[in-house]
Amino acid sequence: MGLFIAAFLAATILPLSSEIVLSALLLNGMAPSGLVIIATTGNVLGSLVNYALGFWAGRVAIQKWLRMSEDDLLQAEQRFNTYGMLSLCFAWVPIIGDPLTVVAGILRVSLRWFLVLVTAGKFFRYVVISYLVLKGSAFVI
């Protein structure tokens, strides 16, 4: 439950990291596959909250409520326009990922594609993190 909450909150505008919780649970012997699914689910749902805020609240409300500057939104929008919907595969990247998911909502990106691309990127990230943590811990043990 803690990993789900950490992953959910980390995907919102809050400056949190789910990787630390995931790593600790992996190092304590919990099943990587289950942890990856839990972390991915929580993180995608957090991104979905950002998408919904952008979709329903719009640009002005987002800037006011989430204290996102016009520059943050413009940069995210430029990245989105430059790289297209595939940029959503990088919604996990710190600093740029959260604004990308908000902009996707503002731009009314298809929810189906949003979920597919964001889920793929976040899932792959958690798989890689899990692999690196477990591979690295083999050298410590």
**pLDDT for 39:** 97
The length of the chain in residues reads: 141
Report the predicted TM-score, pTM, of the whole model to 2 decimal places: 0.85
Query: How do residues 88-137 score in pLDDT, each as one tens digit?
Result: 999 999 888 888 898 899 889 999 999 999 999 999 999 999 999 999 87
Query: How do residues 42-77 score in pLDDT, each as one tens digit?
Result: 999 999 999 999 899 877 777 777 677 788 778 878
